[in-house]
Amino acid sequence: MNDQPIRLAQIGVGGFGHYHTQALLQMEERGWVRLAAAVDPALDLEKNLVLREEWQRRSTRCFGELRECLRQMTGQLDAVLIVTPIPYHFEMALACVDADLFVYLEKPPVATVRQLELLLKHPKSDRIAVGFNRSCWPCFREMKAAIGQGRLGKLRSLRASALWPRPRAYYERAAWAGRLAVDGLPVFDGPASNALAHLVMGLFQLLAAQCGPACSVVDLEAEFYRAHEIESYDTLSLTARMEDGVEMIIALSHACLTELPATIEIRGDEATGIIDVDSGFSTVNGVVLTDVLGGSYYAQLVDCYENFCRGVQAQSGTDFNTNLEDTRGYLTLLETAYAVAKGIRTVGKHHLEYDEKNMPGCVGIRDIPVVLRELMNGARLFSRCPSASWARSGQANEACDGLRESLAFHSPGRT
């Protein structure tokens, strides 16, 4: 660690940003960073005067708008942490690399492949690290090492599944939550593109351990569903074949009354690996690789920030845990999957169940734990599962006007 702490601005301090602030304060105590600035429109509101004063007591300058922060603090910042809603990631990251700053960009990095390509064309794009924090945990690191060492043999398939209940309040917490687009900006909020993004990204990082980062999809089937009263999706299944022959299967849902942990199964021709992402437990053919998370959630964030800070000190993003280029496969998969699915199917109300006593505000697709097991045991898509009559009824709705317009604006053919 260098003698001088990295001068950092946190962009987005409300909501989930609070967790990042607490981790950064630990970093500040250790001398890694100095929280030089905080940026959030809420800091300009009179009702948040106490919050603003709390930041200012730390000698942190407060701004309601990013460009004003960059203008006033020219030459006084080394890096930024962007923890804002998804629609604003692209413009903010672009403004910060334009200002010659290093950027820690919370996942997902951007909403569309076109936005990613535009960022990657920037001459300073190698200064951007992406915060897929869970995929940096010991269970992933050890499994990547095992794959790279050939302990599983040649990879045959990667399978990811999770049931994470989310109540109505989850979709009411912000204007962009559960949306496909907001004010002409793509969002595409949903389990694979937000809460469980680390799980999907983890598949690509595991695949890269054997096949390299450039492995792409050659065949894809996908289905998107909504059970909550939202615009976007809360449930999906997809099956893809990668160019090296590896099969990728993903099934996720927030429309459930039972939680099943985020799990990855890695099948090779010599062994099978399992990662329970929620517990940090991983095995190869039953032999334990890791059985701990590696510390508290804050400690894990601190580990990720230390990796980022080392890159800032070295003035190089070469050794970032996840760089911008690493996310190309992940974003391409999701965007292509939505196009292949031709929209989102609404699950009929007669297929839904509720438990206001134990799971207030949650909606569950009936028997979805059973359906998930059927899918992972060979069905591969919800619509092929014997117990999923809900997945074979109704028509997929076309994209909302906002998403159609924003995807057209950000399409690969546009310059």
Model pTM score:
0.91
Average pLDDT for 115-127: 97
Is residue 313 scored above 60 in pLDDT?
yes
CATH superfamily, with its number, for domain 137-294+326-409: Dihydrodipicolinate Reductase; domain 2 (3.30.360.10)
Q: Which residues of 174-209 are buried (b: 16+ CB within 10 A; e: fewer)?
A: eebbbbbbbeebbbbbbbbbbbbbbbbbbbbbbbbb
Strands (E), 318-371: 344-346, 352-353, 364-365
Whose CA is closest to 108, among 22, 195, 184, 175?
195
pLDDT at residue number 414 = 40
The yes-or-no verdict on residue 1 having pLDDT over 70 is: no
Residue 354 phi, psi dihedral angles, 5° rounding:
-140, 155
On the question of a common fold for 6-134+300-322 and 137-294+326-409, the answer reads no
| Cα-based torsion angle of the residue sequence 210, 211, 217, 218 in order, rounded to the nearest 10 degrees | -120
147-206 pLDDT, tens per residue?
999 999 999 999 999 999 999 999 999 999 999 999 888 999 999 999 999 999 999 999
The superfamily CATH assigns to domain 6-134+300-322 is NAD(P)-binding Rossmann-like Domain (3.40.50.720)
- Residue 410 and residue 34: Cα distance in Å, rounded? 36
* Domain parsing of the chain, residue ranges: 6-134+300-322, 137-294+326-409
User: Scanning the structure block, which residue is given the tokens 């697709």?
Assistant: 365
User: Judging by DSSP bridges, how do beta strands 6-11 and 79-82 pair with one another?
Assistant: parallel
19, 298 Cβ separation under 8 angstroms: yes
Which residues lie closer than 8 Å to 274 by C-beta, 6 or more apart?
263, 264, 265, 266, 281, 282, 283
Per-residue pLDDT, averaged over 194-223, amounts to: 91
pLDDT at 137: 82
401 backbone φψ class: left, alpha, beta (φ>0; ψ -120 to 50): alpha
What average pLDDT does range 279-299 have in this prediction? 81
